Amino acid sequence: MHKPPRSRTSIHASKAIELKHLRLAVAAADCGSLRQAAILLKSQQSSLSRRIDELEQHLGIAVFVRHSGGVRPTRAGLGVLRQARSILEEFDALIASASYVQNCETGRLAIGFCTSLSAGNLQASLLEFNQRVPLIEVATSERSRTRLATGLRNGALDILIVTGSLPLFETEVMSLWSERVLIVLPQNHPLAVREAVYWTDLGGETVLLSHYDLGTEFEILLTSKLVSPHDRPKIERHDVSRGIIKSLISMKAGISFVLESDMGANFAGLVYRELRDGTGPSRLEFSAYWRGDNENPALHEFLKLLSERYPSPS
């Protein structure tokens, strides 16, 4: 069991804490494991662990509890990680905005999304794009839908890959793919023994949704499948990342929804089951949004690839 640091928060802590401390902590929370976070960041696990220890020392609190299966945020750590993610989003947006004017000269494409990059169509599309035009730098940004829309409007992002409709003026849209909706459960949950779970099985459950990804879309889908409020599960909305939602599930605080591309991000102690209704699996549609006045050549190359991979039905 990881013991909380003894030192108290100092007025000089802000001088000692660097962006790298925040990035490493957020990565550890998203992965639920120091080892997996180190692999993702191409870093040494010992170095990552040391940086997190430094962050906890500077703040005077324990951000994580370490256990045999990995790490999970403490109650105080959840608040720290929420603020860390907001700081990193603002900093990344600043850098993206500053470099936007250089897109055409440097060959840079900024893509915003609110789904997982661990597997699925988005990952496959980016890999193929990198093979076609390896000299173009691809910058990815996972944010809330509101921040994504702001980034597209102000030019910090070239294109968005999102589910559902995005009411933005002067934007173009292209329909892409669809993904199955899955339910995430603790491995010892009664529903985990089933090969598939039906929406009507969710009565009495607590569903944890994040403001940072598809929480709104999942809630709309849930309402359409279970019309009567008495049949619906309890909804809890959290201002945290997908990774922290999984940490809460492993702590048996509830269950949640993900898309099938998220299955590539393994998390100890959790299982995934397909969600169905009487007609079969439930799915969400993805679309691409971009500004029609964006003349970035890298964007046009990426749109060409998307139109080839996901041609519109005639």
Query: Which of 182, 185, 181, 183 lies closest to 249 in space, CA to CA?
Result: 185
Identify whether residues 193 and 121 lie together within a single domain. no
Average pLDDT of 130-158? 86
Identify whether residues 37 and 183 lie together within a single domain. no
Q: Which CATH number do you get for residue 240?
A: 3.40.190.10
Query: Which of 159, 109, 106 lies closest to 130 in space, CA to CA?
Result: 109
pLDDT of residue 43 exceeding 60? yes
Query: Which of 175, 32, 149, 22 lies closest to 86 in space, CA to CA?
Result: 22
Residue 239: which domain range? 178-283
Q: Report percent pLDDT > 70 for the chain.
A: 87
pLDDT of residue 8 exceeding 60? no
Torsion of CA 167, 173, 175, 180, to 10 degrees: -40
pLDDT of residue 149 exceeding 50? yes
Identify whether residues 114 and 193 lie together within a single domain. no
Q: Tell me: the pLDDT tens digits for 9-32?
A: 444 555 578 888 999 999 999 888
Q: Which CATH number do you get for residue 48?
A: 1.10.10.10
How far apart CA 225 and CA 262 sit, in angstroms, is 22
- What is the number of domains present in the chain? 3
Token pair for 188: 């010892």
Q: Tell me: the pLDDT tens digits for 91-133?
A: 877 776 665 545 444 588 999 987 666 568 888 999 999 999 8
Identify whether residues 258 and 292 lie together within a single domain. no
> Which residue is listed with tokens 């000269």?
105
Beta strand ranges found along the chain (DSSP E): 64-67, 70-73, 108-113, 137-142, 159-163, 171-186, 196-198, 206-210, 234-238, 256-259, 270-277, 280-281, 283-291
Q: Is 234 helix (H, G, I), strand (E, B) or coil?
A: strand
- Domain boundary residue among 55, 89, 123? 89
Q: Tell me: the pLDDT tens digits for 195-211?
A: 899 999 999 999 998 87
Residue 7 maps to a domain: no
Residue 157 maps to a domain: yes
pLDDT of residue 212 exceeding 70? no
Burial classification of residue 45, based on how many CB atoms lie within 10 Å of its CB (0-12 exposed, 13-18 middle, 19 or more buried): middle
Residue 5, pLDDT score: 47
The better pLDDT of the pair 89, 102 is held by: 89
Tell me the residue type at 34. L
Identify whether residues 118 and 265 lie together within a single domain. no
Identify whether residues 61 and 83 lie together within a single domain. yes
pLDDT of residue 142 exceeding 70? yes
